[in-house]
Structure 1
Amino acid sequence: MSTYLFRLGKWAFRRRRWVLGFWLAVAVTAIVLATVSGGQTNDSFTIPGTESQRTTDLLEQKLPALGGAQTQVVFAVKSPAKVTDQGPRAGIEAAVAQLRTVPQVASVSDPFTDQGVAPDQQVALGWVQYTAQPADVEDSTLDKLEDAVAPAKQAGVQVEYSGSVYPGWRITPSELPELIGLAIALIILLITFGAVVAAGVPIVNAIIGVVIALMGVTALASVVDIASASTTVALMLGLSCGIDYGLFILFRHRNNLIAGMTPEESASLALGTAGSSVVFAGLTVIIALCGLAVVGIPFLTLMGLCAAAAVSVALLIALTLLPAILGFAGPKVAKFIDTRLRPGHHEEVARITATEPARTFGATWARFVVRFRIPVLVLGVGLLLVLAIPAASMDLGLPSAASQPESSTQRKAYDLTAESFGPGFNGPLLVVADGPVDQSGVQTLVNALRQQPDVAAAGPLAVNNEVAVVRVIPTTGPNSDTTADLVHHIRDNRAAIENGVGAPILVGGSTASNIDVSTKLSDALPVFLLVVVGLAFVLLTFAFRTILVPIKSILGFLLSIGAAFGAEVAMFQWGWGEDIFDITPTETISFLPILMLAIIFGLSSDYEVFVVSRIKEDYTTSGDARGAVARGTGLSARVVTAAALIMFSIFVAFMFTDDPTIKVIGFSFAVGVFLDAFVVRLTLVPATMAIVRAKLWYHPQWFAKYVPDPDIEGKRLEERLAGPAPTGGAGH
């Protein structure tokens, strides 16, 4: 692998104008396609094969008026006024009349004739039913929805919205997180390299890669449903991996230049050595993300594929565009910033890092870990186990209006409805009788449902010659365990409930759909964990040609992911971070654990490869197992620290948003990366390797014969080259 990458680096360096032109053309093409397609992401979570999805499909076929998206319009007045007073009532009735004229609207319920007025007469509910699914409801339709309720507002009535779609439901991404992340990344790179050009190169590469990936996702969203979180995850990983991969190769290139190599030979050798580790690390992340397809959940599969595409673009750019840009930069990447306080400081640090790595802080830390390996191992493992304790209380669910910021219309509608009607009105269930049912059968179904535990109300919603629909109001909110128990109870006792109805029943609606999605994701979690662990074992065994290294890496990964889960539960589910992050404590997003397993596994493999490959290279040369741990860790510590801090900072930057889903994703990824990089890979891994020593590299005799050696350290490449190998490097 290293030889091929060396040749690729030389080719890209020499043909840099063609390479740059190609990637700029790809970026422009992606922007044009995204603009022309008009694709938009959405937050419609469905899983084919679940009962709730079968219910939706049935309604689309036999009762289209109830098969589409829905908006709950909440009309509210402040005491002592009442919605039944002449002025507010006239405004609400006029608004309802205008809502019926909005395009794509199938029906609108009148609160005054459809029992939509709260007992305290402070709030009235209107339901807007669309002919289209959530992803197909036009933004222009929602704009006209807001215009239609103007008479109610003019009458002094407060109007708020919730439901599967509502005005402003589509998330408009903010550029603030990206700008904050890029600014912090630039500062870290300036400190790491001490050179403006060197600091800017990885960022330019990452930005080009992210533009291509995000525009591609936007274009794809015009033909398939893609969750809004997909673009955020793709942006996070594309930006962080793009900068990190460029950092690892550039760090090696800069050290080669300081050691006296020409820019062309330096860039080629950097790609052949550090580039080999980048390829393996990138492929690990990509395979882990694509592995999300094994759980059989379409929106999660697409989320993984979008993120994998972003990482793929970042990897290809690091292998082609980076050496091309290094060709344009020439020796400027080693031109340091002059400082008045300490002239020559950056040159001194760079020289020490490249030629005297034993004097660096990373080397000092590595020697400390090796010397006190047993207490370090015990304390590190103990810390991660303590952090993981809250994970045992993880409660999965999908985000509801209750978790939205208090300033959002969805949260206001939720609170008004819960206060005046009860929390169950925010998450009604639809029980559908599949078949012709007479009025007697409908009333029998309604009576049977009213007798079920935790049912606040039940009433007929729609009946035709093919189906009958009953709306069931639980006593608890949509994300309550009691509501989930009610859904399962009705399904488990459907035979008794169907008695006298004359048709089989199905339980659906958005609340039941969210419960089905969460259940499916919970069931898929152990399976996916086994897949990830098995994948880690195979890939790391192939990379390092030993069994003990993968076992050690997997145990470290499990510790870091457990601690990250625990931190997320404590902060966002238990509410420890309620004031810190301005959030409402709620269930853990059901797709977050699987997403974290894929991403943290991939990123942990990145740092495992960069650290352990340097240790292996030193051990291969010296035969001193314990000394190789100290020297190899010291050589890779600086660049791994910079890479981890950049990735951590980018994830943290995404917490500066009002969307609670994005906040929890950014926090969880940031904690996972931080713990895995600093506690596991730079502390527990060298401590364990120093204890086990040479036994760690053992493998059966047949292994060397049948399993090819990928040479990710680039050792054979350096031996083939006539010139002297550089002394320092970035985690080959």
Structure 2
Amino acid sequence: MERWTRAMIRYRWAVVAVWVVVFVVSSAAASGLSRLLTNRFSLPGTDTQRAERILEDHFDQKSTGSFMIVVRGAPGSAPQLLPAVDQAAHRAAGVLPSGDVASVQPVSDSIVNARIVSNLEPADAKGYTDRMRAAVGTVPGAQAYVTGQAAIEHDLDPVFKHDLKVGELYIAIPIALVILAFVFGTLAFLLPLIFAAAAIPTTLAIIWIFAHYMELSTYLQNLVTLIGLGIAVDYSLLIIYRYREEIHSGKATQDAIVATMQTAGRAVVFSGTAVAIGLALMLAMPLPFMRGFGIGGLFIPIISVACALTLLPVLLYFLAAKLDRVRLLPRFITERREAEENFWARLARAIMRHPAAIAAGTTALLVAIALPAVALELGPGSNKGIPRNLESVQGLDILSDAVGAGALAPTAVVIDSHRPGAADDARLQAGLTRLQDSLRADPQVAAVIFDPASTQFVDPSRRYLQLQVIGKSEYGTPASLDFAKRLRQDIVPAAGFPTGVDVYAGGGPPSGVDFLHLTYSAFPWLVLGVLVLTYFLLLRAFRSIVLPLKAIILNLLSITAAYGLLVVFFKWGAGDALGLISFDQIEGWIPVFIFAMVFGLSMDYEVFLVSRMREEWDAGRDNETAVALGLAKTGRIVTAAGLVMFAAFMGFVAGSIVGLQQFGFGLGAAIIIDVTIIRALLVPSAMALFGRWNWWLPQNVARVFRVRNSPLAPSAPRARPAPGPSSVGS
């Protein structure tokens, strides 16, 4: 690290030139990223995917790329509205590539519904929503609405953009700037922003390359920006504060930078690797949209570490002293904050006096917060948690009241006879009749739609058939998910189709079942892999077999506590007073993302804190003094970094969509628990109780991992250093 850092300083102008070129090229590439991102959502290897492929290849349609026209008139006007709605539907289908009118029918005495299918993905189909609305025009004596999944996505896009803009520009960034300005007290708070301006576009440019070859989500860009800003703040705080400490000890600028990178820089390398392991968990998930987030999660810490090892030492050399001369806070505030008797020094001494009580109390509190997680109910998502004033949502509500809440995303039952012309086989027809009768008798089925004379239900080769099943409940509710399981396990087998006939259930509820199954059949194994890799990484970083295990247990405790708070504030309605949208289910992707992001980011704080404690231990301090000094010298850094991340995540909570509220709240809750209860109280108190066992590393393990063994065996005595400059708070 010393040789590397001195080389960066020696070739500092070349380093700056390289990063300027990287910034320019990356910014140009990243500017074209948004048009390569998509909201496509596929479930590989499932019955849902098999049904979708048949619908696309043989019926020229996608269940998710369809539109519906809902027309409501006066009571009893449905028969008179039918011709006008039919004409409007054909006009609308004419402006939609591959569009075709599947059905036009009254659903009540005042409402007529037309269904238009296409083979477009929702991300492509939604772009035609405005043209279809213009083609529908007005229906005399009635109100017309264009709805469907694609139309809802079209109407939600401005809502997403507005919510994210408000969250980032008006909440997250201003709060982050205020926190940074207060923590640094000088213009040096600009250094993390320069760091972020280098790392984030570079990461987005790498994602731009991957976006040419794989499906990446529209919201990956926002997530990378969010995580990139947080990591930039974390690493900058740690390194700049350590640099200030080395300067105040009397070192020359270059020597101070070298000493900083040998200590804080080393911690950043381990921390970045831990973050990458946690976030890259999603790379191994079986869902393409999650793998896309894994790409971003892998590269943002890697690029940030590269930036910290190359650009940040040069920025310290050029700018740190100049920026520190411009004060943003009065001198008496910064001097009081950095005095020996600061808050963190007093807290450290208090913890060392009563470690058992503090450890027991904080553990009991976290367990109490985590207990509601046993009531966590996962779902694939819902349309209930979106604004109701959008045209597509209003049309959906009208149709749901008339037909059933499952009208937007019906179940598609696809029958493959494997023989052209077999659709007319008497045995198959008998099975089809039994299937329809069983479906209509099911308490969750509002309607079964099948027209044997239409090519929308029997393909031209008469090998494939499909039925549309509209549920009484929305596609993501427990009742709908139970129906999908019942359909596959009971109803279809009981229909008695001939041998060799395959029946696939896709569309709304079955896709929710497949999504949850794919996600949570893989998630526990991937979590186990992340825990094992992280343990060995931290074993090498901390040179201990005890501390990595403690870190993993406490991380899992903070994440479980966040899950518990999600139940309390969303399922149990405690967040109503805060403007949160109550909802029984937590969207299924959220616990996965919370685990990956929080596990990675909280390891940042663990590495910062324990690395400094380890450094004090190696310098000859006894265990209590080493733990107290580590907390006193890094507590403010960890807390400030956590508060910046908390502010960023709260930007999601300010939105009007329940999924993003749950996501932002869960992340924010986990981070604030981590940097307050766990890092400030539970970690130091537990380490005080463990004593010298904190630093135990058997000789044979040290040889395997090629690290220097602990300088002290657990049973050996160690003298407490004399009071003086090394006391807590110095």
| TM-score normalised by the chain length of structure 2 | 0.88
Alpha-carbon distance between aligned partners in 2 of 1:338 and 1:611, rounded to the nearest angstrom: 27
Q: Is the counterpart of residue 274 in structure 1 residue 264 in structure 2?
A: yes
Deviation for aligned residue 1:16: 3.5
2:215 maps to which of 225, 232, 252: 225
Q: How many residues align?
A: 695
Alpha-carbon distance between aligned partners in 2 of 1:652 and 1:620, rounded to the nearest angstrom: 39
Q: Is the counterpart of residue 184 in structure 1 residue 175 in structure 2?
A: yes
Q: 1:129 aligns to what? A: 117
Deviation for aligned residue 1:707: 1.8
Deviation for aligned residue 1:230: 2.7
Is contact 2:63-2:507 (8 Å) kept?
no
Alpha-carbon distance between aligned partners in 1 of 2:727 and 2:95, rounded to the nearest angstrom: 64
Is contact 1:73-1:127 (8 Å) kept?
yes
1:437 maps to which of 398, 405, 423: 423
Q: 2:685 aligns to what? A: 687
- Mark the CA change 1:386 to 1:52 in structure 2 (over 3 Å): closer, same or farther: same
- Mark the CA change 1:492 to 1:200 in structure 2 (over 3 Å): closer, same or farther: same
Equivalent AA in structure 2 for residue 557 of structure 1: N
1:73 maps to which of 35, 48, 69: 69
Q: Is the counterpart of residue 396 in structure 1 residue 378 in structure 2?
A: yes
- Mark the CA change 1:178 to 1:36 in structure 2 (over 3 Å): closer, same or farther: closer
Alpha-carbon distance between aligned partners in 1 of 2:544 and 2:585, rounded to the nearest angstrom: 41
Structure 2 unpaired stretches of 5+:
451-455, 712-724
1:280 match: secondary structure: helix
- Mark the CA change 1:191 to 1:82 in structure 2 (over 3 Å): closer, same or farther: farther
Deviation for aligned residue 1:504: 2.2
Deviation for aligned residue 1:235: 2.2
Equivalent AA in structure 1 for residue 627 of structure 2: V
Equivalent AA in structure 2 for residue 142 of structure 1: T
- Mark the CA change 1:444 to 1:501 in structure 2 (over 3 Å): closer, same or farther: farther
Alpha-carbon distance between aligned partners in 1 of 2:288 and 2:728, rounded to the nearest angstrom: 39
Deviation for aligned residue 1:539: 1.7
Is contact 2:89-2:116 (8 Å) kept?
no
Equivalent AA in structure 1 for residue 176 of structure 2: A
- Mark the CA change 1:479 to 1:632 in structure 2 (over 3 Å): closer, same or farther: same
1:168 match: secondary structure: helix
Query: Could you report, residue by residue, the CA deviation over 1:203-253 in whole angstroms, capped at 9, with x for unpaired residues?
Result: 221133223333543564454322234333222211111121111111111
1:483 match: secondary structure: helix
- Mark the CA change 1:295 to 1:224 in structure 2 (over 3 Å): closer, same or farther: closer
Q: 1:462 aligns to what? A: 457
2:519 maps to which of 506, 518, 521: 521
Equivalent AA in structure 1 for residue 272 of structure 2: G
1:274 match: secondary structure: helix
Q: 1:377 aligns to what? A: 359
Is contact 1:161-1:410 (8 Å) kept?
yes
Q: 1:106 aligns to what? A: 99
Aligned positions of 1:613-692 closer than 5 A? 613-692=611-690
Q: 2:482 aligns to what? A: 485
Deviation for aligned residue 1:69: 1.7
Query: Could you report, residue by residue, the CA deviation over 1:5-31 in whole angstroms, capped at 9, with x for unpaired residues?
Result: x33333333433332332232233233
1:507 match: secondary structure: strand
Q: Is the counterpart of residue 84 in structure 1 residue 82 in structure 2?
A: no
Is contact 1:251-1:729 (8 Å) kept?
no
1:423 maps to which of 396, 405, 423: 405
2:135 maps to which of 148, 152, 158: 148
Equivalent AA in structure 2 for residue 256 of structure 1: E
Is contact 1:424-1:477 (8 Å) kept?
yes
Query: Could you report, residue by residue, the CA deviation over 1:360-383 in whole angstroms, capped at 9, with x for unpaired residues?
Result: 211111111121111111111111
Structure 1 unpaired stretches of 5+:
714-726
Q: 2:453 aligns to what? A: none
Alpha-carbon distance between aligned partners in 1 of 2:135 and 2:12, rounded to the nearest angstrom: 57
Is contact 2:203-2:300 (8 Å) kept?
yes
2:44 maps to which of 23, 45, 48: 48
1:161 maps to which of 137, 147, 164: 147
Alpha-carbon distance between aligned partners in 2 of 1:338 and 1:307, rounded to the nearest angstrom: 34
Alpha-carbon distance between aligned partners in 2 of 1:730 and 1:108, rounded to the nearest angstrom: 76
2:501 maps to which of 500, 503, 507: 503
Q: 2:295 aligns to what? A: 305
Is contact 1:39-1:222 (8 Å) kept?
no
Alpha-carbon distance between aligned partners in 2 of 1:221 and 1:270, rounded to the nearest angstrom: 37
Query: Could you report, residue by residue, the CA deviation over 1:320-348 in whole angstroms, capped at 9, with x for unpaired residues?
Result: 22222223315123225266xxx532552
Equivalent AA in structure 2 for residue 184 of structure 1: I
2:457 match: secondary structure: strand
Deviation for aligned residue 1:192: 1.3
Alpha-carbon distance between aligned partners in 2 of 1:102 and 1:712, rounded to the nearest angstrom: 73
Is contact 2:562-2:670 (8 Å) kept?
yes
Equivalent AA in structure 1 for residue 648 of structure 2: I
Is contact 1:405-1:583 (8 Å) kept?
no
Tell me whether 260-269 or 30-39 shows the greater mean CA deviation: 30-39
Is contact 1:38-1:222 (8 Å) kept?
no
Q: Is the counterpart of residue 57 in structure 1 residue 53 in structure 2?
A: yes
Equivalent AA in structure 1 for residue 610 of structure 2: V
Deviation for aligned residue 1:586: 4.2
Deviation for aligned residue 1:656: 2.4
Is contact 1:573-1:587 (8 Å) kept?
yes
Is contact 1:457-1:472 (8 Å) kept?
yes
Q: Is the counterpart of residue 413 in structure 1 residue 402 in structure 2?
A: no
Alpha-carbon distance between aligned partners in 1 of 2:101 and 2:191, rounded to the nearest angstrom: 56
Deviation for aligned residue 1:527: 2.0
Q: 1:368 aligns to what? A: 350
Q: Is the counterpart of residue 118 in structure 1 residue 107 in structure 2?
A: yes
Deviation for aligned residue 1:487: 1.2
- Mark the CA change 1:577 to 1:225 in structure 2 (over 3 Å): closer, same or farther: same
Alpha-carbon distance between aligned partners in 2 of 1:213 and 1:729, rounded to the nearest angstrom: 42
1:12 maps to which of 5, 8, 14: 8
Query: Percent identity over the alignment?
Result: 27
1:654 match: secondary structure: helix
Is contact 1:637-1:682 (8 Å) kept?
yes
Alpha-carbon distance between aligned partners in 1 of 2:94 and 2:689, rounded to the nearest angstrom: 75
Deviation for aligned residue 1:48: 0.7
| TM-score normalised by the chain length of structure 1 | 0.88
Q: Is the counterpart of residue 293 in structure 1 residue 287 in structure 2?
A: no
Alpha-carbon distance between aligned partners in 1 of 2:363 and 2:390, rounded to the nearest angstrom: 42
Is contact 2:181-2:328 (8 Å) kept?
no
- Mark the CA change 1:31 to 1:635 in structure 2 (over 3 Å): closer, same or farther: closer
1:46 match: secondary structure: coil
Equivalent AA in structure 1 for residue 94 of structure 2: T
Equivalent AA in structure 1 for residue 143 of structure 2: V
- Mark the CA change 1:11 to 1:145 in structure 2 (over 3 Å): closer, same or farther: farther
Alpha-carbon distance between aligned partners in 2 of 1:200 and 1:712, rounded to the nearest angstrom: 39
Is contact 1:96-1:110 (8 Å) kept?
no
Deviation for aligned residue 1:444: 4.4
1:321 match: secondary structure: helix
- Mark the CA change 1:557 to 1:210 in structure 2 (over 3 Å): closer, same or farther: same
